[in-house]
A and B are shown apart, each in its own frame.
Chain A
Amino acid sequence: MNAAKKLLLAVLMTLATTTPSLAAETVLRAARVEVHDPTQLLAPDAKFWKSARLVEVAMLPQMVAKPSNPNPAIKSLKVRAVHNGHWLAFLLEWDDPTQNDRVGIDRFGDQVAVQMPVKYDRKAIPNPMMGNPGGGRVDIWQWRAAFQRDLDAGEHHALGIYPHAMQQLRELYPNAVVDLYPDEVLRATDARPYMGALGVDNPISHPKRTPVLDQMAEGFGTLTAEPEQDADGKGVWKDGKWRVVITHTMSSAEPEADITVHPGGESIVAFAVWDGGSREVGARKAWSAWVPLKLAK
């Protein structure tokens, strides 16, 4: 048995043993909304979400790749979808008693992600677990609570060469004392070698304009941020619940990396969620099976 078959078998076995009802039985219908400003889609409390039918998606333990997550903290997501002819938007809600939006050595952030095939072909469905090589490329939009915090705090900071909008040392270590940083005395170009991942523009490190990373993958360990970022989002934690909107353009200048969907068309969508308070990160996550998605005309 080759590796792909083994993987498929493992996925099927996981599905058979852990899912009482397959998510595939339900269809997620993206209602058409007359909201033309894409920033107005980024509102978890907006009234237009009421026009979209809620689908409850079962979240499964990630047991195929190592490290695994046999007992994920979040068991289901409440999902709604809308589109305005140019942007596709998802509202994801789940219970989470702790708001984990700071990242430190032993602190992990809450995250949620939407996944869709780059090219939807009902005869060649990509592996729901981050796609597969040989035509199974998927587009993944991951919202991170820590990025959301950066952006929310960013109103008070300037977005300069150094991410002053990012969490600062004093937020994590209020009593920290540091004499001098290289970027305080060197020119920006000379200070870059002292900035680690930021100095080489790692997408995790550099300042953000959105809390969502637009990425593609072709299997475990291949997740890569796209050169052009076409996703956006907004998350709000209140009363023990996360309510997160993730949006993406329905087509882009990078058709090999981004989705292409049309009003009246169909595709499939899957989700992943991480509870930072339970130290869930990377492969230690909960994932969903593919859910059929139909876009209203």
Chain B
Amino acid sequence: MAKVYNWQIGREMEYPYEGVRPKKQFAMIFDLNKCIACQTCTIACKTMWTAGRGQEYMFWNNVETKPYGYYPLGWDVKNLELLGVQEMPGPVYKGKTLFEAAPQGERILGYLPDDLDYAHPNVGEDDCTGLMEQGAHLTLPHMNWMFYLPRICNHCTYPGCLGACPRQSIYKRSEDGIVLIDQQRCRGYRECVKGCPYKKTYFNPMTRVSEKCIGCYPAVENGRQSQCTITCIGKIRLNGFIATPDKAREDNPMDYLIHIAKIAKPLYPQFGLEPNVYYIPPIHVPPAYLTQMFGWGVDEAIAAYRRAKDDKKILGALLLFGSTPDLIHHYKLEGRYTIGYDERGVELVRVPLREPIHVRVVYDDKHQAYRSNIT
């Protein structure tokens, strides 16, 4: 195996191929404090990409409730159990990645889900960790809790699916880092389904080959954000490109939130795939659980999020979520606005940092009517 550098675990690690980073890397940030599991993203993806035969059970985008929701059933706890207890005391991960923990004769540690594991995409939905006792009151973190976790393919820098495929039928595009399964070359061995810990490759039993989230590459190639992003009614998502920490640009909202403000964290970085979907942790959930899920630095991320209202750079980046269907490459604060620009520097959107307040008198003399509308 080759040695590659994974900045999320702060060290070199083993990977079946040499580390070649794409020119640009597709990335997404989800603000988990805002997701309401309305599944609009799921349906946008479903109708766009997986309406065909053999794709009935597939959700390239899904939203599950944590801690008791899973699609497929138990995907994360099964991986954690396979990997065993590992140490991540700080920015340098001391434990083993899934590549390093691969059994003899295997490329990666993983498991193939059972057919029935996909049968309950809504299992655990809205299930809280416990019942509230008499006299309970609001605390942070909450006494009992749950939150929603939207998931797509992480378009990993070191994809498990790609590493596991013995035919090199999976490739990572050099132009945008999107990971695709070659639909002409795949033979349906399901090594990728076994090898992706996030279970975001799916076997199509009608075509008998595997499929996965394509990062809406036709949209991305044309400067548009993915369907799941632009249809999100809660404006919890931002789709863009991320640099490595050493090349982070302060005027790229993705880089700013992930590398500089350190407000958004990768999902299970200890698996070692350097996933490129980042999550702003929910502030009401106990940090121990969040640390297991998002790795080291969750407390700092929550602290940064809580001061966002007073930090214009953070606020400016957060307000770009859901503000435009176009891909934002740069942003700038100007007066009371945050402004998003495309790759060539053309202004895409201008969002006020604070919504203007209009005060209207309660009684309208002209129409001789009381106003009850407050919006």
- Do A104 and B205 touch across chains, with their CB atoms under 8 A apart? yes
- The segment from B21-29, B63-71, B107-115, B353-361 found at the interface with A is B107-115
**Would you call the interface of chain A mostly helix, strand, loop, or mixed?**
loop
Measured CA separation A162–B54 after assembly (Å): 12
Q: How far is the CB of B213 from chain A (nearest CB, A)?
A: 13
Q: How far is the CB of A150 from chain B (nearest CB, A)?
A: 10
Task: Specify which of A105, A167, A182 lies most central, judged by the most chain B CB atoms within 10 Å of its CB.
Answer: A105
- Do A204 and B187 touch across chains, with their CB atoms under 8 A apart? yes
Given A105-B113, A105-B115, A202-B184, A197-B52 contact (CB < 8 Å): no
Given A66-B106, A202-B183, A181-B51 contact (CB < 8 Å): yes
- Do B52 and A194 touch across chains, with their CB atoms under 8 A apart? yes
Q: How far is the CB of A25 from chain B (nearest CB, A)?
A: 29
Asked if B174 lies at the interface with its beta carbon under 8 angstroms from chain A, I say no
Measured CA separation A106–B166 after assembly (Å): 18
Asked if A198 lies at the interface with its beta carbon under 8 angstroms from chain B, I say yes
Asked if B203 lies at the interface with its beta carbon under 8 angstroms from chain A, I say yes
Measured CA separation A75–B206 after assembly (Å): 31
- Do A282 and B191 touch across chains, with their CB atoms under 8 A apart? yes
**Would you call the interface of chain B mostly helix, strand, loop, or mixed?**
loop
Measured CA separation A198–B177 after assembly (Å): 25
Asked if B211 lies at the interface with its beta carbon under 8 angstroms from chain A, I say yes
Asked if B105 lies at the interface with its beta carbon under 8 angstroms from chain A, I say yes
Q: Which chain B residues border A252 with CB–CB below 8 Å?
A: none
- Which residues A78-130 have CB closer than 8 A to chain B? 103-107
Asked if B56 lies at the interface with its beta carbon under 8 angstroms from chain A, I say yes
Q: Which chain B residues border A67 with CB–CB below 8 Å?
A: 105-107, 164, 166, 191
Interface size on A, residues (CB 8 A): 42
Q: Which chain B residues border A56 with CB–CB below 8 Å?
A: none
Asked if A183 lies at the interface with its beta carbon under 8 angstroms from chain B, I say yes
Asked if B137 lies at the interface with its beta carbon under 8 angstroms from chain A, I say no
Chain B interface size band reads 35 or more
Q: How far is the CB of A215 from chain B (nearest CB, A)?
A: 10
Given A194-B51, A196-B209, A282-B106 contact (CB < 8 Å): no
Q: Which chain A residues border B208 with CB–CB below 8 Å?
A: 103, 146, 197, 204-205
Q: Which chain A residues border B193 with CB–CB below 8 Å?
A: 105
Measured CA separation A202–B204 after assembly (Å): 13
Given A66-B105, A169-B54, A181-B53, A196-B183 contact (CB < 8 Å): yes
- Which residues A150-204 have CB closer than 8 A to chain B? 162, 166-167, 169, 172-173, 176, 178, 181-183, 194-202, 204
- Do A223 and B167 touch across chains, with their CB atoms under 8 A apart? yes
- Which residues B169-203 have CB closer than 8 A to chain A? 183-191, 193, 203
Q: Which chain A residues border B106 with CB–CB below 8 Å?
A: 66-68
Q: What is the chain B residue whose CB lies nearest that of A69?
A: B105
Residue of B56, B189, B206, B211 near A282 (CB, 8 A) is B189
- Which residues A218-253 have CB closer than 8 A to chain B? 220-221, 223
Q: Which chain B residues border A135 with CB–CB below 8 Å?
A: none
Asked if B55 lies at the interface with its beta carbon under 8 angstroms from chain A, I say yes
Q: How far is the CB of B4 from chain A (nearest CB, A)?
A: 17
Residue of A104, A176, A202 near B207 (CB, 8 A) is A202
Asked if A283 lies at the interface with its beta carbon under 8 angstroms from chain B, I say yes
Task: Specify which of B186, B193, B206 lies most central, judged by the most chain A CB atoms within 10 Å of its CB.
Answer: B206
Task: Specify which of B114, B166, B193, B205 lies most central, judged by the most chain A CB atoms within 10 Å of its CB.
Answer: B205
Asked if A65 lies at the interface with its beta carbon under 8 angstroms from chain B, I say yes
Q: How far is the CB of A272 from chain B (nearest CB, A)?
A: 14
- Which residues B311-351 have CB closer than 8 A to chain A? none
- Do A70 and B183 touch across chains, with their CB atoms under 8 A apart? no
Q: How far is the CB of B123 from chain A (nearest CB, A)?
A: 17
Q: How far is the CB of A200 from chain B (nearest CB, A)?
A: 5
Measured CA separation A195–B211 after assembly (Å): 11
Asked if A281 lies at the interface with its beta carbon under 8 angstroms from chain B, I say yes
| Chain A residues proximal to chain B, CB less than 8 Å | 63, 65-70, 103-107, 146, 162, 166-167, 169, 172-173, 176, 178, 181-183, 194-202, 204-205, 220-221, 223, 279, 281-283
Extra pairs beyond A67-B106, A221-B168 (11, CB < 8 Å) = A66-B166, A68-B105, A104-B203, A105-B115, A106-B113, A166-B206, A181-B52, A202-B209, A204-B187, A204-B188, A205-B209
- 26 A/B residue pairs, CB under 8 Å, sorted by A: A63-B105, A66-B107, A67-B105, A67-B164, A68-B104, A68-B106, A104-B115, A105-B57, A105-B113, A105-B114, A105-B118, A166-B206, A169-B53, A181-B52, A183-B53, A194-B51, A196-B54, A196-B209, A197-B208, A197-B211, A199-B183, A202-B207, A202-B209, A204-B207, A220-B166, A282-B189
